[in-house]
Chains A and B, each alone.
Chain A
Amino acid sequence: MSRHKISLTVNGERYEVEVEANRTLLQLLREDLELTGTKLACERGDCGLCTVLLDGVPTKSCLVLAVEVDGRDVTTVEGLAEGEQLTLVQRAFIKHGAVQCGFCTPALILAAEALLKRNPNPAEEEVKEAVGGILCRCTGYRQIIDAILDAAREK
């Protein structure tokens, strides 16, 4: 199997790593860089819990090869807060009780951050569409949608 030297930026930090061809971005983040905020679940692109921002675009990292991200910029949930200062979206999730077990939270927060950057005043339908690829089995989504709409109002 081929091995590849790649360099990438994750949460503002530059990494030079060597990866085997069959390594996914998700494995690289969790196992090699020990950034376990990005969750592993279905590994087939259905649940969306491994969503990260690839050059700012929400992307399911279980369906991206590590070798593909050579020269690219990755943001995971660990890269959002500045020190102890949580982002507006993160604070809104706490305020609205949008977190129960928390397993889907990193993906939803990243998708929300990307949405609000692209569209600072989304309608409720646009919020639902933007997080449509990420499954939550606890909250029923109401609190999540409210949190994102609230974060948009605060911005």
Chain B
Amino acid sequence: MPLPKFDYLKPHTTEELSAALAEHGVDAKLFAGGTDLLVLMRDRLVRPKYVIDIKEIKDLHELSWDERRGLTIGAAVTLNELMASEVVRERFGALWKAAGTIADPTIRNRATLVGNICNASPAADTAPALLVLEAEVEFVSAKGKRVTPILEFFRGVKRTSLERDEFVKAVRIPNPPDGAKGDYLKWGRTRGEDLAVVGVAALVANSGEKIMRIALSSVAPTPLRIFEVEKIPKEEGSVAEQISKAVSIVREKISPITDVRGGKEYRIHMAGVLTKRILEGLLGAS
């Protein structure tokens, strides 16, 4: 089936993009990789009058890292560009791993990290990684810019805190604390192509400042950070006991639904299994 009709706009600067959004915001959709947008349009679930391609804007292709400011990922950076970065692989392991679980390598040549979070699926694979890494989202509009923690970005199924006249310029991730290690595990029906039945990201540090951060996808209306586990490393107990505490907290705090990919009970069970697996891997106890 052909795509519905629309006007295609291609701004060359962030100023032109802000102006286009100020004029057409309500009727416009931003277009980077198109791997979600064009599918939604084909299904007539989204009917923009204007499709605004952001890929000609040089600033939005920024992928940079610095010792002080951490990692900056522009809105037009593809998942494969992100994965090709040594810094991302070495210092932001949870994000690197999560990016590689999305769809397949051909899709990742087009799909972007910022698109993944702006689509705001509860199953967004990069979201749990961004939550444990405490990423920030930089918004820009004709009125100016603002920065918000990723935690406040997701507002519901397919809903974010992005206003109609704004665009996400970049995601910024501070350097993780020294000694911290991260990972993401995705449980799906097939290895490629499918959305997560459950996904778990974790960031832990066992030396120096003791840290345990866990976030999940596909277990609630939004990707979910489980703050209640964060006190665990400060308490008494062996690594095995800590892991077992984390598993019961995760199972208790999530509220998954039953859908085509799995039942509620199965999701709760697998969230526990993945939490155990990811923590055993990161804490070196198996």
| Chain A residues in the interface with B (C-beta under 8 A) | 1-2, 4, 20-22, 24, 27, 43-46, 48, 51, 57-60, 62-65, 67-68, 111, 129-130, 132-134
Shortest C-beta distance, B111 to chain A (Å), equals 9
| Chain B residues in the interface with A (C-beta under 8 A) | 1-10, 31, 33-35, 38-39, 42, 51, 53, 55, 103-107, 109-110, 191-193
Shortest C-beta distance, B52 to chain A (Å), equals 11
Question: Chain B CB within 10 Å — which of A21, A63, A111 has the most?
Answer: A63
Task: Find chain B residues with CB under 8 A from A21 CB.
Answer: 5-8, 51
Asked whether, in the complex, the Cβ of B39 is within 8 Å of the Cβ of A22, the reply is no
Chain A residue nearest in CB terms to B56: A68
Asked whether, in the complex, the Cβ of A59 is within 8 Å of the Cβ of B109, the reply is yes
Question: Chain A CB within 10 Å — which of B1, B3, B7, B106 has the most?
Answer: B106
Asked whether, in the complex, the Cβ of B35 is within 8 Å of the Cβ of A45, the reply is yes
Asked whether, in the complex, the Cβ of B106 is within 8 Å of the Cβ of A48, the reply is yes
Asked whether, in the complex, the Cβ of B191 is within 8 Å of the Cβ of A1, the reply is no
Asked whether, in the complex, the Cβ of A60 is within 8 Å of the Cβ of B106, the reply is yes
Q: Is the interface of A mostly helix, strand, loop or mixed?
A: mixed
Task: Find chain A residues with CB under 8 A from B104 CB.
Answer: 48, 132-133
Chain B residue nearest in CB terms to A115: B105
Asked whether, in the complex, the Cβ of B3 is within 8 Å of the Cβ of A44, the reply is no
A sample of 22 cross-chain residue pairs with beta-carbon separation below 8 angstroms, ordered by A number, consists of A2-B9, A21-B8, A22-B4, A27-B2, A43-B42, A44-B39, A45-B35, A45-B39, A46-B193, A51-B106, A58-B105, A60-B110, A63-B107, A64-B34, A65-B31, A65-B38, A65-B53, A68-B55, A111-B106, A133-B103, A133-B105, A134-B106
Task: Find chain A residues with CB under 8 A from B38 CB.
Answer: 24, 45, 62-63, 65
Q: How far is the CA of A133 from the CA of B102 in the complex (A)?
A: 11
Shortest C-beta distance, A17 to chain B (Å), equals 15
Asked whether, in the complex, the Cβ of A59 is within 8 Å of the Cβ of B5, the reply is no
Shortest C-beta distance, B108 to chain A (Å), equals 9
Task: Find chain A residues with CB under 8 A from B51 CB.
Answer: 21, 65
Top 7 nearest A-B pairs by Cβ distance?
A133-B104, A133-B106, A21-B8, A22-B3, A1-B5, A2-B7, A132-B192
A-B pair count, CB < 8 Å, reads: 81
With A22-B3, A48-B106: A65-B35 Cβ-Cβ less than 8 Å: no
Known: A21-B6, A21-B51, A48-B106. 12 other contacts (CB 8 A): A1-B5, A1-B7, A2-B8, A21-B7, A21-B8, A57-B109, A60-B107, A63-B38, A63-B107, A64-B110, A132-B192, A133-B103
Chain A residue nearest in CB terms to B100: A129
Q: How far is the CA of A110 from the CA of B169 in the complex (A)?
A: 34
Task: Find chain B residues with CB under 8 A from A67 CB.
Answer: 8, 10
Shortest C-beta distance, B146 to chain A (Å), equals 30
Shortest C-beta distance, B94 to chain A (Å), equals 20
Q: How far is the CA of A59 from the CA of B38 in the complex (A)?
A: 14
Question: Chain B CB within 10 Å — which of A45, A58, A65, A68 has the most?
Answer: A45
With A132-B191, A133-B103, A133-B192: A63-B5 Cβ-Cβ less than 8 Å: no
With A63-B38, A64-B34: A132-B105 Cβ-Cβ less than 8 Å: yes
Shortest C-beta distance, A127 to chain B (Å), equals 11
Task: Find chain B residues with CB under 8 A from A24 CB.
Answer: 3, 38
Task: Find chain B residues with CB under 8 A from A60 CB.
Answer: 106-107, 110
Chain B residue nearest in CB terms to A58: B106
Shortest C-beta distance, A76 to chain B (Å), equals 15
Asked whether, in the complex, the Cβ of A63 is within 8 Å of the Cβ of B110, the reply is yes
Task: Find chain A residues with CB under 8 A from B191 CB.
Answer: 132
Asked whether, in the complex, the Cβ of B8 is within 8 Å of the Cβ of A58, the reply is no
Q: How far is the CA of A126 from the CA of B3 in the complex (A)?
A: 34
Question: Chain A CB within 10 Å — which of B9, B35, B110 has the most?
Answer: B110
Task: Find chain B residues with CB under 8 A from A46 CB.
Answer: 193
Q: How far is the CA of A42 from the CA of B55 in the complex (A)?
A: 25
Task: Find chain A residues with CB under 8 A from B105 CB.
Answer: 58, 129-130, 132-133
Shortest C-beta distance, A59 to chain B (Å), equals 6
With A44-B39, A57-B109, A111-B106: A65-B34 Cβ-Cβ less than 8 Å: yes
With A45-B39, A65-B34: A133-B107 Cβ-Cβ less than 8 Å: yes
